[in-house]
Structure 1
Amino acid sequence: MKKKIFLVGIVGMSLLAACVPARKFEDAQAMIEKLNVENKSCKEKTDALTAKVEDLNKQVNDLTNARKDLVDDTTNYGTQYRKIMAMNKELNTLYEKVIDQNKALLNNSTNESQKFQSQLAEKSKQLDEKEKTLNELQTTLQKQQTDLDQLKSDLEAKNKKVMELESALTKNDSMMNALKNKVSDALMGFENAGDLKVYTKNGKVYVSLSENLLFKSGSIIVDPKGKEALKKLAEVLNKNTDIKILVEGHTDNVKLAGTGAMKDNWDLSVLRATSVARILMIDGKVDDARITASGRADTEPVALNENADGRGKNRRTEIILQPNLSEINSILGTK
């Protein structure tokens, strides 16, 4: 373009020099100088525009690199996009003042802008998806935290219940051990004779009385010595009113010749347990609501029934002292 203008100037000067008077030549020369000034101005504007285009390309490159970082939020991209659009608008205004050759550059810039807008929309979509995923993860995390807090609360409640239960069991064991010692002290003379044993098992106190101490063979009437032992035991029981009392009769496996009301060892074991229970209630003044009597016949032997010694050990009456489990049941939530 500049070359074309320069040639026009030379041709014009030649024509003017050959064909026009000096006055017109001077006017033409002034016009040429004016055109040169305008040409210079146009060149300066073109250079400025080129600089702006280069600056714009640099900014576009910077923005293209910035697109790779997904942590840039939509607001930042929108701000940059609006900045580029403003620059494009300014560029369009400048392009209208220059030659058509710059339209290709403008179109290229517009295409880049559209490309960037498309990429921006894609990044925005990706960010929305990431945000949706993050929200879902946060919801899941909150639910898991709620579940964890509930589990922690349940565990603390269970630990508290376990501690309460352990405390109650320890208290119960201590109480039953103390009761065992009191019963042993009260029945010391009988225990030393080998006809009576006092021991603890499963949190209960067992008082095992042999047939020799309580009954004659095949009888359900308690001997005087047995009554004395039961009265001693009743004194301890009346001082420990929370204790439940289970009286169990036991026999060997020798079949009983049925006579009268007793047909077999079941009848014998039940009637002996009932006789012992009556001594505790009537002679010992123990509250009958605390006592339960039952017979086991030969179903729970403590020794083999193969000889007289073993059978003698099996013929016994057990008085089982059971603690008040209301506190433990309350902790366990049972009746």
Structure 2
Amino acid sequence: MKNRITVILLVLIATSCVSPKVYKELESKYATLKQENRSLKDENSELLKTKNKAANDLAELQAEYDEALKRRDQLESDYTVTKSKYDTLKASYEALDANSSSAIAANTQKNRELLAQLETKEEALATENARLEQLKKELESRSQRVADLESIIASKEAEMIALKDAISSALTDFEGKGLTIEQRNGKVYVSMENKLLFESGSWAVGTQGRKAVKQLGTVLGDNPEIAVLIEGHTDDAPYSPRGNISNNWDLSTKRATAIVTILQENGNIKADNLTAAGRGEFAPIAPNTTAEGKAKNRRIEVILTPKLDKITNLLNN
């Protein structure tokens, strides 16, 4: 995203036919796109960090819970031993009751001491049981939170797989014509070479290209919560300024905007989900040393990203 938007600004700097007002507007758009790119990266990174932290916290809490169980068991054992001693001394007291007042007095004192110890251990055991119960509740809460995060992530992944399959099905007629579809990093990437969309040096979409874009738009219209970034790319051949085009940056931006314009014809696609960006020759996917490589680099990339509102809400709560 950063390279794409930098392209826009450098295009404007390089050209002399853009007015200060337009320059300011594009500079503002650059800042907005840059911020959105950072937000998406930060959201994705924060999500992974949060999941790892939640898992670590869960492990620590489990260890603390296990340690509390050991302490509770030890207190129960001490309680049992103390009670057994008390019962033994009580029996001795009853046997000696008729024979020795001094022995009775000694046993009575021991009984009182043992009773005091027994009460102390009972209180400690009750306190530890309460603490154990609190830890158990916290452990269950943390476990549920981790499960919820994993469930949402799995759901988003499944949604993107289904979206990729739907797009592949809708655009099957264009396979082998410069169109590729792949999923990586939780996003779906639709790449269309310029030979499918534009004539050389033009940003007007041809008949076949328009058909492909509109079929893609039909799928996007059924998925209104997907963010859509359209990037225009060129090879590294210098573009001789002519007409309304000043350089490769300008051409790539106009081509991306042309795709957005076609997608907007579908009323089910939210306009605020669409972003157009020109990256010129600065994001190649193949060497520009061969005709085949140059053809691959002259392309439109449609990058589809799921909304992360549910994950954000879960993390905030």
Q: TM range, normalised to the smaller chain?
A: 0.5 to 0.7
Are the aligned partners of 2:149 and 2:311 in contact in 1 as well (CA < 8 Å)?
no
Instruction: Return the letter of the residue paired with 1:215.
Output: F
Superposed CA offset, 1:161-210 (max 9, x none): 644653x346514531441233223xx1x333x32223333454432111
Are the aligned partners of 1:70 and 1:127 in contact in 2 as well (CA < 8 Å)?
no
Q: 1:70 aligns with which of 82, 85, 99?
A: 85
1:131 corresponds to: 119
Residue aligned with 2:287, SS: coil
Larger gyration radius, structure 1 or structure 2? 1
Are the aligned partners of 2:231 and 2:301 in contact in 1 as well (CA < 8 Å)?
yes
* Change in 2 beyond 3 A, CA 1:203/1:215: same
* Change in 2 beyond 3 A, CA 1:215/1:156: closer
Are the aligned partners of 1:173 and 1:203 in contact in 2 as well (CA < 8 Å)?
yes
Are the aligned partners of 1:242 and 1:324 in contact in 2 as well (CA < 8 Å)?
yes
Superposed CA offset, 1:205-233 (max 9, x none): 43211122223344333344433433343
Give the superposition deviation at 1:128.
1.3
Q: What are the equivalent positions in structure 2 for 1:63-142 lying under 5 Å apart? A: 70-72=85-87, 83-84=97-98, 113-114=101-102, 116-118=104-106, 120-142=108-130
Q: 2:264 aligns with which of 277, 281, 295?
A: 281
Are the aligned partners of 1:247 and 1:294 in contact in 2 as well (CA < 8 Å)?
yes
2:168 corresponds to: 181
* Change in 2 beyond 3 A, CA 1:150/1:198: closer
| TM-score (normalised: structure 1) | 0.55
Are the aligned partners of 1:250 and 1:300 in contact in 2 as well (CA < 8 Å)?
yes
Question: Over aligned residues, Cα RMSD in angstroms?
Answer: 3.8
Distance 1:287 1:157 in 2: 32
1:306 corresponds to: 289
Unmatched runs of 5 consecutive residues or more in structure 2:
1-83
Q: What are the equivalent positions in structure 2 for 1:1-335 lying under 5 Å apart? A: 70-72=85-87, 83-84=97-98, 113-114=101-102, 116-118=104-106, 120-156=108-144, 158-159=146-147, 162-163=150-151, 166=154, 168-169=155-156, 171-173=158-160, 175-185=162-172, 188=173, 190-192=174-176, 194-238=177-221, 240-257=223-240, 264-282=247-265, 288-323=271-306, 328-329=310-311, 332=314
**Higher relative contact order (Cα pairs below 8 Å, separated by 6+ residues):** 2
Give the superposition deviation at 1:241.
4.5
Distance 2:117 2:86 in 1: 13
Residue aligned with 2:279, SS: strand
Superposed CA offset, 1:149-168 (max 9, x none): 331344245435644653x3
Are the aligned partners of 1:251 and 1:316 in contact in 2 as well (CA < 8 Å)?
yes
* Change in 2 beyond 3 A, CA 1:184/1:230: closer
Are the aligned partners of 1:74 and 1:124 in contact in 2 as well (CA < 8 Å)?
no
Distance 2:107 2:131 in 1: 36
* Change in 2 beyond 3 A, CA 1:307/1:241: same
* Change in 2 beyond 3 A, CA 1:261/1:78: farther
Instruction: Return the letter of the residue paired with 1:146.
Output: Q
Instruction: Return the letter of the residue paired with 2:271.
Output: D
Percent sequence identity over matched residues?
A: 30
Superposed CA offset, 1:12-56 (max 9, x none): xxxxxxxxxxxxxxxxxxxxxxxxxxxxxxxxxxxxxxxxxxxxx
Give the superposition deviation at 1:316.
0.8
2:18 corresponds to: none
Give the superposition deviation at 1:252.
3.0
Residue aligned with 1:70, SS: helix
| TM-score (normalised: structure 2) | 0.57
